[in-house]
Amino acid sequence: MTKKNRKWSQADIPDQRGRVVVVTGANTGIGYHTAAALAYSGAHVVLAVRNLEKGNAALARIVAAKPEADVTLQQLDLGSLASVRAAAQALRDAYPRIDLLINNAGVMWTPKQVTADGFELQFGTNHLGHFALTGLLLDHLLPVRDSRVVTVSSLGHRIRAAIHFEDLQWERSYSRVGAYGQAKLANLLFTYELQRRLAAQDKANTIAVAAHPGGSNTELARNLPGIFQPVKAVLGPLLFQSPEWGALPTLRAATDPDVQGGQYYGPDGLGEQRGHPKLVQSSAQSHDEDLQRRLWTVSEELTGVTFPV
């Protein structure tokens, strides 16, 4: 089978030695397997996690599997802009250059809650926290050849998804599915707007890419409404793939030399639920440039973070 027709797998990750990688939410699930694969491929990987105890356990697992793996921890709570700023400053101090930022962490279908800054939890964590982190770290990526910002979205960006500018924090009414759809749509709008800004830079080194894991059996689904739990128990093996497989679209977006800015990767199986990673298409709404610009402006206002592009 020719390279063009062969399905992409973890074995296709190029040598990552010399690269500095930051992965948010790297203590469990897709984030863990993304970080582990990059560490096994030679990268220096920073596990950016909210819970340091779980982060230390993840680090120990990676090193136990490959003792020479180069892995460190950074505390990061994406639900707190103060924590995001502190983590970004620590990373800036420790790493003059960053090759790869993977915005992976997230929450899904949570009961109504707010972040430390009063944002709806899913929008605040999945989008605004990553928006702020990226803006605060970007100038350490911009000079680095083939540097990338990879943001993990979801099939949920198509489900009851809209940017509710009139009520971004869902104060009037709340839908856990709708709020998740808004957050995951925001991830893509952010990626595409960031890529357009990066491409306008003279001699741009950095690209912005997105990925989604399909249906993956991870802790993210712990807030699945009770009515769906029996369905998951019966159909889970058919609909959900392992987190190792769910990490592959992110890994391809992060490392494949042929990836271009503004692309979106997901599984190649039926409904993009499972399978090998390939280039896929996001919703028409996610490509609305007016929506992208409007969300960017609002995100800057809410976070107080502006970008060097």
What residues are annotated to the active site? 180
Residues 6+ apart with CB under 8 A from 180: 108, 109, 122, 126, 154, 156, 159
CA 286, 288, 294, 300 dihedral sign is: positive
Write phi, then psi, for 51 (nearest 5 degrees): -100, 110
For residues 50 and 27, what is the distance between their CA atoms, to the nearest angstrom? 9
For residues 51 and 56, what is the distance between their CA atoms, to the nearest angstrom? 9
Residues paired with residue 47 on neighbouring β-strands, in sequence order: 23, 73
For residues 33 and 39, what is the distance between their CA atoms, to the nearest angstrom? 10
Residues paired with residue 115 on neighbouring β-strands, in sequence order: none
Question: Tokens representing 306?
Answer: 């502006």
User: Which amino acid, residue 25?
Assistant: G
User: Which amino acid, residue 208?
Assistant: A
- The continuous run of DSSP H or E covering 45 comes out as strand 44-49
Query: By the 8 A CB rule, do 305 and 135 touch?
Result: yes
Q: Buried (b) or exposed (e) across 166-179, using 16+ Cβ within 10 A?
A: eebbbeeeeebebb
**Burial class of 308 by CB neighbour count within 10 A (0 to 12, 13 to 18, 19+):** exposed
